[in-house]
A and B are shown apart, each in its own frame.
Chain A
Amino acid sequence: MKLRLNLSVNGEPAEALVDPDKTLLEVLREDLQLTGTKHGCELGECGACAVLLDDQPVLSCLVVSHECEGRSVVTVEGLTVDGRLHPLQECFADLGASQCGYCTPGILIAAKALLDRDPNPSRDLIREALSGNLCRCTGYQQILDAVQASIVRLGEGGEQKK
């Protein structure tokens, strides 16, 4: 028996008929074909699968499909608004914060949640907020730089138009 799900994904209603044993990660990638959300363990150990669920960053690999009904999900695909990249995305691209890019969607989600909550976090606080996301490529320095640069860009009114 399939499970019928109605959710809001990146601001748009989405309906899917899914295998009930699936996690949100599987529903997003396989049923909604939103493959921007990645996976590196499916056990909560890497952070690659982070999405915003009702505005909270969570690990989609640990969310069962049954508990997604009626909720709102934002994935990396939803960070771009009206064709404009989020300042975080701009800064990540410009400053080398994304090398292979595989951890990037999850880190962008965690960083966005942080900046939504606290528009001016310290470098230590950024570190803490992103400490649930592993990156094997960058050594994190350029990611920290990019988040800090995006704070400046956001502060200069570089917000995305909604």
Chain B
Amino acid sequence: MMRLPSYRYRAPKTVQDAAAWLAESPGDTMLLAGGTDLIPNMKRRQQVPSTVVGLRGITELSRTDDRDGLEIGAGVTLTSLVHDERVHARYLGLWQAVGQIATPLLRNMGTIGGNICLDTRCTYYDQSFEWRQAINFCMKKDGDTCWVATSSDKCLAVSSTDAAPALIALGATVRLVSATGTREVALTDLYANDGMHYLTRRSDEILTTVTLPKADGWRTTYWKLRRRGSFDFPVAAVAAAARFDGDRIVEARIVLGAVASRPLEVPAAAARLAGQPLTDDLIASVADDAYTLAKPMDNTDFELVWRKKTVRSLVTSALRELRGDDMRAARTKLARHPLLVIS
């Protein structure tokens, strides 16, 4: 059996207490939410914190509040979001993203906060200690070389969170709390395009809340590519959000997932869409913008050249769905099920 390394466990009841524990030794303390990312990583010795601060006991983190928009506690499980009628009704893209994360069992455990902070992934890195020893490790952990691109001076591990692209497309912000204070940042600013330092979160900060602005007039959608209908992380994904005035787009955001070390916004696409009706030609140009920007590397399932090509098709499907085309058959084929998760 794979076993955990030894660690010290702390169970704070409040965010303040958690922040205090974290402040003690932020370098080798990690937060534990659902554990579906951290526990496997610890078993594989990719992350070996000496102290683990469990967030489970902090009830305030698992609240969802209807304010101006929706304020979701970092500890809310993915299953609760999928079963949350408000998410389904107002933030369909987020619902589609969350409903396709991992598996139903993992969604019962995994939290939205953990998903946002999910470690970047790479097939040279998500391996046991012994396996990594056999390649003499890599830059992200215990080694020097990036085997994905041996001349690269930075790690190119892949941002694999499904929720983040959807949240960014929806204009989400997050609250970060530390022993020294609280700050609110746009979610997009939480990320950096660097496989090792993929979060701008300071190691003494706790992500407490994700806030979604009011959804008035916005339509959103999420298209995910993965080998199987379940379990698999995205290998390419797109979240698209647009505010319409009649059939004309007023404002739009396109965010790609799993093709860089961070969720990748496509500003050119947003600019191109603003003020336009969604014609087939426009969709094709936007798909091109996204295709050009996407930089998948050879460190996930599937071949990178093909993954890059699929970005066009994903963006096309997403925009067509926003336009109102009936995309159910295409979605069922891609997702391998009709996304029935709500019950």
Query: Do A and B touch directly, given a CB cutoff of 8 Å in the complex?
Result: yes
**Residue ranges of A at the interface with B (Cβ–Cβ < 8 Å):** 20-23, 25-26, 39, 41-45, 47, 50, 56-59, 61-64, 66-67, 110, 117-118, 121-122, 124-125, 127-133
**Residue ranges of B at the interface with A (Cβ–Cβ < 8 Å):** 1-7, 9, 11, 32, 34-36, 39-40, 43-44, 52, 54, 56, 79, 102-106, 108-109, 229-231, 337-338, 340-341, 343
The 5 listed contacts between A and B (C-beta, < 8 Å) are A22-B3, A23-B39, A47-B105, A50-B105, A128-B341
Find out whether the CB atom of A64 lies under 8 angstroms from the CB atom of B54: yes
| Cross-interface CB contact of B102 among A63, A121, A132, cutoff 8 Å | A132
Besides A59-B36, A61-B39, 6 more A-B contacts (Cβ < 8 Å) are A21-B6, A22-B3, A43-B44, A62-B40, A67-B11, A67-B56
Which applies to chain B's interface (DSSP): helix, strand, loop or mixed?
A: loop
A29 to B35, CA, bound (A): 20
Give every chain A residue within 8 A of B34 (Cβ-Cβ).
62
Find out whether the CB atom of B36 lies under 8 angstroms from the CB atom of A44: yes
Find out whether the CB atom of A58 lies under 8 angstroms from the CB atom of B54: no
Find out whether the CB atom of A64 lies under 8 angstroms from the CB atom of B337: no
Find out whether the CB atom of B340 lies under 8 angstroms from the CB atom of A124: yes
Counting chain A CB atoms within 10 Å of each CB, the highest count among B36, B103, B338 belongs to B103
Find out whether the CB atom of B2 lies under 8 angstroms from the CB atom of A132: no
Give every chain B residue within 8 A of A127 (Cβ-Cβ).
337
Given known contacts A59-B106, A133-B105, A23 and B340 CB-to-CB distance under 8 angstroms = no
Determine the residue in chain A with the shortest Cβ distance to B5: A21
Question: What's the least CB distance linking B83 to chain A, in Å?
Answer: 9
Determine the residue in chain B with the shortest Cβ distance to A47: B105
| Cross-interface CB contact of B108 among A39, A56, A64, A122, cutoff 8 Å | A56
Given known contacts A118-B343, A129-B104, A58 and B109 CB-to-CB distance under 8 angstroms = yes
